[in-house]
Chains A and B, each alone.
Chain A
Amino acid sequence: MIEKYPRGLELLVWSILLVGLAVALCLICAGLLWEWVFQGATSGITPISATNLAGYFLITGAESLDMGIGPAILVYTGIGVLLLTPLARVLASFIFFSVVDRNWKFTSVTGFALVVLTYVLFIR
């Protein structure tokens, strides 16, 4: 039988995907419910201005500090968490292969993916 990589990696990936998705959906739904209950509308969320992922989080953070937590901030944060979930999975895999498994081949493979995705964070 073929020896698989340590089971820990599967558990790590599974946890990140599940938690990321659950948190994102909860935030988005909470934002929508808030808007429905208190404002009686569902299409009042201001469109996101053209910005990269890093800018998206800066704008969302600045708006939440400025105006406090509101339905739009929850929705924006939910979308942000959703976008970051695959990135978190790649980062965790990179750390796993480099620190736990000490597998330089897959440290390089996941490292490359991480570099491209980090570049994408700042793409304009």
Chain B
Amino acid sequence: MADPSFLLVLIISVVAGFFGAMTGLGGGTIVVPVLTYLGVDIKLAIAASMVSVIATSCSAAAVYVRQGMVNLKVGMFLEMFTIVGAVIGASITLISGQQALYIAFGAVLLIAGISLFIKHRFSPGLGKKENQDRFTRWLGLDGSYDDRAEKRRIDYYPSRAALGGPLMGVAGMISGLLGIGAGAFKVLVQDLAMGLPTKVSTSTSNMIIGVTALAGSSVYLSAGLVDPNLAVPVIIGVVIGAFSGTALLTRTTNQNVRRYFIVIVVLIGIDMILRGVP
């Protein structure tokens, strides 16, 4: 197995964190395949990425919580499912062969990339009070946030929490399995299944990702797969990259740039699948 230098991993992670933030897919989605191109064992790459996901989640969630964008109750309810999913997913990784992981990673990259394109076509709108089911109402997940673009306070009423929970369990499993935040899937579930406004689902997803990653990281730690010489440059690099990417993202309006990056992600996905095919 190759042992890339600290500086090289750091630079790659900065770039991965930057593109990950720009596309909304997260740094791990890009850093894991790139590390495998350098000869790093895919399980070590997944474990290092999983720990770095905690760092990016903490920084992003802190900002969104401060802005009042996160629905803490929705996040805490869905966490129950993602934590269990992550432990199952990480445990599957430990017993999986490398080829299977390559194919799974490639398939997830393809689905995530395509879903980001499709997402623009589906606009479920805000959850309406009349559409809310009894269970979700009983949980009391309603929320509101200040929309700075529209300059008004928006109330929303999530629904179908009983469907969203198990679906988030699957997203958690993907996260634990592949060492990524799987934010794109979590946002989709909250948007399409529960009718949350996209801004709220994106920020709430960031909070959920941290706890999910902790559950996955613990499994990798107990298997001795967390190598600090790999994890440390990935943590620092992805955080720096994500900060820069987020800062630039708030200033850029060019959607084509983001689409271009998503195309790259899809191409990496195809390549990963091909590498996994015997």
A residues neighboring B (CB under 8 Å):
1-2, 4-5, 9-10, 13-14, 17-18, 20-21, 24-25, 28-29, 32, 42-43, 45, 47-53, 56, 72, 75-76, 79, 82-83, 85-87, 89-90, 93, 105-106, 109-110, 112-113, 116-117, 120-121, 123-124
Contact = CB atoms under 8 A, between A and B. Distances in A.
Contact of A116 (B83, B143, B207, B232): B83
B278 interface: no
B110 interface: no
Interface residues of B, number: 55
Contact of A86 (B65, B142, B211, B227): B211
Contacts of A93: 72, 76
B84 A116 contact: yes
Contact of A2 (B87, B138, B142, B211): B142
A5 B73 contact: yes
Contacts of B179: none
A47 B197 CA distance: 43
Given A93-B76, A105-B139, A13 B211 contact: no
A19 B204 CA distance: 19
B20 to A, nearest CB: 17
B256 interface: no
19 contacts: A2-B142, A4-B144, A13-B61, A13-B65, A17-B61, A17-B65, A17-B210, A18-B58, A51-B224, A52-B221, A72-B228, A75-B232, A105-B138, A112-B80, A113-B211, A116-B83, A116-B215, A117-B211, A120-B219
Contacts of A109: 76-77, 80
Contact of B228 (A47, A51, A124): A47
A17 B58 contact: yes
A56 B77 CA distance: 29
A82 B224 CA distance: 17
Q: Pick the most buried of B3, B5, B51, B55: most chain A CB atoms within 10 A of its CB.
A: B55
Q: Pick the most buried of B61, B207, B218: most chain A CB atoms within 10 A of its CB.
A: B218
B125 interface: no
B226 A123 contact: no
A6 B217 CA distance: 32
